Amino acid sequence: MQNMQTYTVNDFTIYPLSEYAVTLEFSHEINADILQLISKFNTLLHRKPFDGFCTTVPAYATLSVFFDPLEVIQSPHLRGINCFERISSYLSRLEDEEKNQIITENGTMTIPICYGGKFGPDLDEVARLHGMTANEVIHLHSTAIYHVYLIGFTPGFAYLGGMPGQLATPRKSFPRSVVPAGSVGIAGKQTGIYSLDTPGGWQIIGRTPLHLFNPNRAQPALLKAGDKVVFKAMEYDRFEHYNGSKDADTYH
């Protein structure tokens, strides 16, 4: 099929997403190496954008690149008969340069969580399913090191990989109509943090007072793809202290 146009270079395959976006597919699976590769290439592209470059959307195994087709087609610096060719050839040249880049580690973000009780209504259920105590679940969940794989679903919602396999739990059969912002949930092998009050079907084990999303911050989303995250259990009283205070936006 002539329409199913793709362009393959060493690390990724490029396919068109729409007239104004292409997707770079690095892999078909989730792992930390791929995440790092995507993160590295994303940084490089932002440092060396092409004419008409707008923005990117990193996901588990892909990086989508958005652009203005008019600027791309008019650019004297890009070669090719259409936008897809012009961008593909630019990105593959960039990839060659990437080989010489130094890997910079993203910092680690500590996120306080108040586990169980009214903030984590499913904690006991998750513990029961795995034949553990609630404290064992908290211990496992708060000693692992996570990576942000994807920001999506709602603005600022963070999907995290790296949860201990023993905690993998299916979604709830009936989603809740409202899951409060800050709720920390488990769905299958992933853990994630709700950024807005939305409906949701994840098993909710706790809540953070931090604002995952705040449109008044320079960076509205607290986390970005590639960030390293650790959780720290916090007391109920401390939660109330953070909640509503300005610390909820600045805590690191």
Question: Site residues (CB under 8 A) for another protein?
Answer: 1-5, 15-21, 23, 25, 28-30, 54-62, 64, 66, 69-70, 73, 82-84, 150-157, 159, 195-196, 198, 213, 215, 219-221, 224-225
Q: How far is the CB of 164 from another protein (least distance, A)?
A: 21
CA distance 150 to 160: 7
C-alpha closest to that of 128 among 29, 205, 25, 211: 205
Name the residue nearer to another protein (CB basis): 121 or 155: 155
Name the residue nearer to another protein (CB basis): 86 or 137: 86
**Residues 250/222, Cβ–Cβ less than 8 Å:** no
Cβ atoms within 10 Å of 241's Cβ, excluding its own: 13
- Kindly give, in sequence order, each residue whose CB lies less than 8 Å from that of residue 250, ignoring residues fewer than 6 positions away: none
Q: How far is the CB of 194 from another protein (least distance, A)?
A: 11
Q: How far is the CB of 124 from another protein (least distance, A)?
A: 29
C-alpha closest to that of 39 among 10, 60, 22: 60
Name the residue nearer to another protein (CB basis): 138 or 208: 208
Name the residue nearer to another protein (CB basis): 74 or 133: 74
Q: How far is the CB of 58 from another protein (least distance, A)?
A: 6
| Per-residue tokens: 239 | 């939660």
